[in-house]
């Protein structure tokens, strides 16, 4: 168990106001995101069939929660890790034109998650996906979308300040972009998470570009599955990646807080290349991958934005358990309670 207890922590809101604030933030952000990215809401599944390639494999080692379906000859279903691939299939099914997309409330269970101040067994996020054109598959387009999402964050921060004036805005006017390779060069002796903390401490809000490919030290900044984000496309000489993470400075925990993972999705060439790099070319025979290779899915960009993490950030909470209900180790609940951090 990894737990940070901020010295002298006092919640910004009393428990009876917390639910109202959570609802307020979620409503404000959904409205802003919908308008900024031209999205419409759809209903999402809680589980998908095992063996179709639709579920998100994350880093490839996390075990999905699964169960047999009595009415389908004991065929197994898996609780989703995320909806990265499912959303792209829905863009095709709904024939969403370029420049428009969908978003949904995604609820997941990640049984192998290491629990701490910002990680929970229960994952709630807004999953979104937007159809793009072939000419949009470039770094400039990715950065434009990141700036649009950052505008949403700024709008919500302003709304929270208007509603709760004692919670003062902290986000910088602009988000800073940096390649993961440049970040390594700037902090060569630090781990990836330590590098994130230092760069976000410096700028306040950062988008780290290129997550999943090997850096010059032979490691990658963070893991990414090979079959949704395009992390292998060359964007500039010496650099890779059409994906990344949005991170902001957490003033309570004094560290970087990831709010979103997103990217331009793989096309056929990137899919084949990344499956080869990761040594899992057998996935080409799965239903999702066959559809992509047969030109049955549109080009797209998409990602996820953590709902509880946004609420945690905007309400200056010390633990994600203050804004969501989940299961926590008894020692964590006890230690938090002693410090005035009430977990749900």
Q: Where in the sequence numbering do the catalytic residues fall? A: 56, 110, 125, 245, 258, 261
Please, are residues 32 and 314 in contact by the beta-carbon 8 Å criterion?
no
Side by side, which strands form the sheet with 75-79? 47-49, 75-79, 66-69
CB 52 within 8 A of CB 145: no
Identify the bridge partners of residue 77 per DSSP, sorted by sequence position: 49, 67
CB 90 within 8 A of CB 100: no
The helix or strand, by DSSP H or E, that contains position 41, with its residue range, turns out to be strand 39-41
Q: What separation in angstroms does the CA of 78 have from each of 68, 82, 253, 255?
A: 9, 11, 34, 33
Alpha carbon of residue 203 to chain centroid: 20
Which of 324, 288, 264, 258 minimizes the C-alpha distance to 108?
Answer: 324
CA distances from 314 to 93, 107, 343 (A): 36, 21, 17
DSSP states of 142-163: HHHHHHHHHHHHHHHHHHHHHH
Q: Which of 149, 187, 151, 137 is nearest to 304 (CA)?
A: 149
- C-alpha 297/C-alpha 263 separation (Å) is 16
């Amino acid at each position: 168990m990894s737990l940070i207890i901020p010295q002298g922590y006092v919640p910004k809101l009393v428990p009876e106001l917390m639910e109202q604030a959570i609802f307020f933030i979620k409503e404000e952000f959904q409205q802003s995101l919908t308008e900024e990215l031209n999205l419409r809401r759809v209903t999402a599944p809680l589980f998908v069939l095992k063996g179709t390639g639709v579920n998100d494999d994350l880093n490839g080692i996390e075990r999905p929660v699964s169960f047999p379906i009595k009415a389908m000859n004991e065929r197994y279903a898996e609780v989703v890790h995320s909806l990265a691939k499912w959303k792209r299939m829905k863009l095709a099914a709904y024939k969403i034109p370029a420049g428009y997309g969908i978003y949904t409330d995604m609820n997941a269970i990640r049984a192998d998650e290491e629990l701490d101040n910002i990680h929970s067994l229960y994952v709630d996020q807004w999953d979104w996906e937007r159809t793009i054109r072939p000419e949009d598959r470039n770094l400039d387009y990715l950065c434009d979308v990141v700036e649009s999402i950052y505008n949403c964050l700024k709008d919500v921060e302003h709304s929270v300040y208007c509603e709760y004036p004692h919670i003062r805005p902290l986000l910088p006017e602009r988000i800073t972009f940096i390649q993961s390779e440049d970040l390594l060069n700037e902090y060569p002796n630090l781990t990836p998470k330590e590098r994130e903390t230092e760069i976000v401490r410096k700028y306040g809000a950062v988008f780290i570009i290129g997550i999943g490919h090997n850096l010059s030290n032979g490691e990658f900044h963070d893991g990414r599955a090979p079959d949704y984000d395009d992390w292998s496309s060359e964007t500039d000489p010496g650099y890779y990646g059409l994906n990344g993470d949005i991170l902001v400075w957490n003033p309570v925990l004094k560290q970087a807080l990831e709010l979103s993972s997103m990217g331009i999705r793989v096309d056929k060439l990137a899919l084949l290349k990344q499956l080869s790099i990761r040594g899992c070319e057998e996935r080409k025979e799965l239903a999702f991958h066959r559809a992509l290779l047969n030109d049955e899915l549109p080009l797209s960009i998409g990602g996820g934005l953590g709902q509880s993490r946004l609420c945690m950030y905007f309400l200056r909470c010390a633990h994600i358990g203050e804004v969501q209900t989940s299961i926590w180790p008894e020692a964590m609940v006890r230690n938090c309670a002693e410090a005035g951090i009430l977990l749900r």
